[in-house]
Amino acid sequence: MYKSLKHHNYHFYHLILIIILYILNVYGQYVPENRYAHSAVYVRSESRIYFIGGFKVTPYVPNPMSDVFYLNINFTDANRLEFTDLTSQINLPLTIFHDSELGGVNKDLIFIIGGVNWKDPDTSHVYSLNTKTNELSVPIVQGKVPPSRKGMSSVIYEGKFYLFGGQAATTGINTLYFNDFNIFDTINLNWQVGSLVNSPTARILHSATIVNGVIYYIGGKTQVTVYPPLTEIYQYDIVGNTWSLKEATAADPKFMPGSRAGHTSILIDGKIVIYGGFFSSDDIQNKLPAKETIAILDVNTLVWSIPEFDARVDNPIPKLFLHTATAVGEVMFIAFGNFTDKPDGFDQTNKDIYIFVFGYPQIFSSSLSLIKNMANANEAQPQIPTSTNTNINPQQPSSLSKVVIVGISIGSVSLVLTILSVLSIAHYKRTKKSKVQLGGVPNDPNSVEINDDKSHSEYQQQDPPTILTESP
Ligand SMILES: *[C@@H]1O[C@H](CO)[C@@H](O)[C@H](O)[C@H]1NC(C)=O
């Protein structure tokens, strides 16, 4: 392995202030189950990514309460990269296909809006979760409450939660797609509406990303099997309250990203990174992975390109949808969701979190489980990475904001060394997450709207077991 290390260029090490493998104590730690249609919120002040709700395929009779847990991304903490379960403290009914954003006066309240609930088809109320006290409340809200919905997309900007589109939450298959534009003020606790002049047509499962006060809307579905092309970029200017439709192109037309829904988009280094998603057609009813799992939109030129990955790394790029994407500085956390490339009959849900590190000409990725396995292996062989440990500065607790994963082959076994790159939190230029959830009918999250599969249309409200109806 040192042989291969030698070939790495100096610059690489210079950029990545290396180090490795803290010993992770995984015993007794909470391990969340597979899920999809959850939401994720980065709480920067706590260095945590919260995960809320989502549908779990097992157990067969679900917990009627939502899971709420967080991933600790403070690398100076002994519990770094571990999950903490808050479910028993937070009585949020099982909620799926909702949106969550961090808001409130002190930016410490997670607002949970919409989606479908286990028992309550009316999801028009707003939940507020205090990240300091774990208190969940339903604040009294002024203004005209928009109808319940799922599969909208959201961003938060200056305390306002912007929600465009979505689908009626309480109805069945080919039902209402919304093109309304609702704005929830998390500080003054009221509902407002945004302009609909030149706004997109009704859609679901699109993504929204805020860039310098402009929200970019990408993809989604406008009808059951109709997916707008990714050349169409809708921009909403918040200050002007105006919409415009722009045309994007591809750096290389061969690599134009395909239409998609149920994907995510986040802002990294001033560029929009989209990930995953599915499409289908009248001919092909199954979910198919969107062409180009990961793509980057330059917001100045509106040119799509496909990022390059560092060839020394294994770089898992799972084809997912209904996952979440969270940006922490220049690191993207892709969590849970369903695989689009696993045949029906196989478990398609993803249990892992994938970590993508940007900020270098090339990207690195690894899964959280691999990092943990490596850390455990390293515990057995602590001598492996010690040559680089000196680059860690434990006296700088606010640093360590990055995870870089470098895979290095040792013999025939591809091993991954975990390289924690050190960047001051003060260097975070931006923190932003956005995600897309999509909807099903209240008791059948796997509705036709999601995967266009006829088998999903059986649906009986108020009959809990039908939430578990699966495709054959
Ligand atoms: C996600 O995967 C699970 C397990 O394979 C499956 O039961 C479910 O229908 C899938 N959900 C969607 C929306 O495709």
166-219 pLDDT, tens digit each: 998 765 655 789 999 999 999 999 999 999 999 999 999 999 999 999 999 999
Q: Is 57 in the pocket of ligand 1 (CB under 6 A)?
A: yes
Structure tokens at 445: 């999250």
Per the document, the length of the chain is 472
Q: How far is CA 68 from the centre of its chain?
A: 15
Q: Give Dmax over CA atoms of the chain in angstroms.
A: 66
Q: What confidence tier does 58 reach under pLDDT thresholds 50, 70, 90?
A: confident
The residue-averaged pLDDT of 7-22 equals 41
Q: What percent of the chain has pLDDT over 70?
A: 71
Whole-number pLDDT of residue 403: 39
Q: Which atom of ligand 1 is nearest to the CA of 347?
A: 5
Q: What is the rounded distance in angstroms from the CA atom of residue 310 to the CA atom of residue 117?
A: 42
Identify the residue whose C-alpha is closest to ligand 1 atom 12: 446
98: left (phi over 0), alpha (psi -120 to 50) or beta: beta
Q: Is the overall model pTM greater than 0.85, yes or no?
A: no
Are the beta carbons of 259 and 279 closer than 8 angstroms?
yes
Residues 6+ apart with CB under 8 A from 173: 224, 441, 447, 448, 449, 457
Per DSSP, the three-state class of 303 is strand
| More confident call, 21 vs 168 | 168
Residue 457 CA, ligand 1 centroid: distance in Å: 14
Which of 446, 448, 449, 459 most suits a substitution to test ligand 1, by most atoms within 8 Å of the C-beta?
446
Q: Which atom of ligand 1 is nearest to the CA of 470?
A: 7
Residue 40: half-sphere exposure toward Cβ, Cα within 13 Å: 31
Please give the single-letter amino acid code of residue 42. Y
Q: pLDDT at residue 134 above 90?
A: yes
The residue-averaged pLDDT of 333-356 equals 91
Residue 447 CA, ligand 1 centroid: distance in Å: 10
Number of helices followed by number of strands (H, E) in the chain: 4, 36
The sign one gets for the Cα dihedral 89, 99, 439, 266 is: negative
The residue-averaged pLDDT of 60-67 equals 82
Q: What is the rounded distance in angstroms from the CA atom of residue 132 to the CA atom of residue 67?
A: 18
Whole-number pLDDT of residue 238: 98
The residue-averaged pLDDT of 130-138 equals 97
Q: What is the rounded distance in angstroms from the CA atom of residue 264 to the CA atom of residue 273?
A: 8
What is the bridge-based pairing of β-strands 303-305 and 294-298?
A: antiparallel
Per DSSP, the three-state class of 89 is helix
pLDDT averaged over the chain?
77
Whole-number pLDDT of residue 339: 96
Q: Is 451 in the pocket of ligand 1 (CB under 6 A)?
A: yes
Are the beta carbons of 292 and 273 closer than 8 angstroms?
no
- Quick: pLDDT tens for 396-438: 322 223 333 333 332 222 333 333 332 222 233 333 333 333 3
The residue-averaged pLDDT of 154-166 equals 97
Across the beta sheet with 271-275, the strand order is: 249-250, 303-305, 294-298, 271-275, 264-268
Q: pLDDT at residue 377 above 50?
A: yes
Q: What is the rounded distance in angstroms from the CA atom of residue 298 to the CA atom of residue 257?
A: 13
Residue 336 CA, ligand 1 centroid: distance in Å: 12
- Quick: pLDDT tens for 266-313: 999 999 999 999 998 777 767 899 999 999 999 999 999 999 998 877
Whole-number pLDDT of residue 282: 78
Q: pLDDT at residue 2 above 90?
A: no
Q: Which atom of ligand 1 is nearest to the CA of 471?
A: 9
Residue 168 CA, ligand 1 centroid: distance in Å: 21
Q: Is 96 in the pocket of ligand 1 (CB under 6 A)?
A: no
Identify the residue whose C-alpha is closest to ligand 1 atom 13: 446
Q: What is the rounded distance in angstroms from the CA atom of residue 253 to the CA atom of residue 229?
A: 13
Please give the single-letter amino acid code of residue 28. G
Q: pLDDT at residue 466 above 60?
A: no
| More confident call, 33 vs 81 | 33
Residue 338 CA, ligand 1 centroid: distance in Å: 6
Are the beta carbons of 145 and 185 closer than 8 angstroms?
no
Q: Which atom of ligand 1 is nearest to the CA of 262?
A: 13
Q: Is 286 in the pocket of ligand 1 (CB under 6 A)?
A: no
Are the beta carbons of 324 and 292 closer than 8 angstroms?
no
Q: Is 447 in the pocket of ligand 1 (CB under 6 A)?
A: no
Q: Specify the residue for token string 């599915």.
A: 278
Phi, psi (degrees; rounded to nearest 5) at 415: -110, 150
Give the DSSP H or E segment for 11.
helix 10-15
Identify the residue whose C-alpha is closest to ligand 1 atom 7: 470
Residue 446 CA, ligand 1 centroid: distance in Å: 7
Q: Is 450 in the pocket of ligand 1 (CB under 6 A)?
A: yes
Q: Is 336 in the pocket of ligand 1 (CB under 6 A)?
A: no
Q: Specify the residue for token string 């495709």.
A: 471
Residue 347 CA, ligand 1 centroid: distance in Å: 7
The residue-averaged pLDDT of 227-241 equals 98
Q: Specify the residue for token string 């209904």.
A: 322
Q: Which residues of 302-336 are buried (b: 16+ CB within 10 A; e: fewer)?
A: bebbbbebbebbbbbbbbbbbbbbbbbbbbbbbbb
Q: Specify the residue for token string 């990022």.
A: 307
Give the DSSP H or E segment for 363.
none
Q: What is the rounded distance in angstroms from the CA atom of residue 114 to the CA atom of residue 39?
A: 11
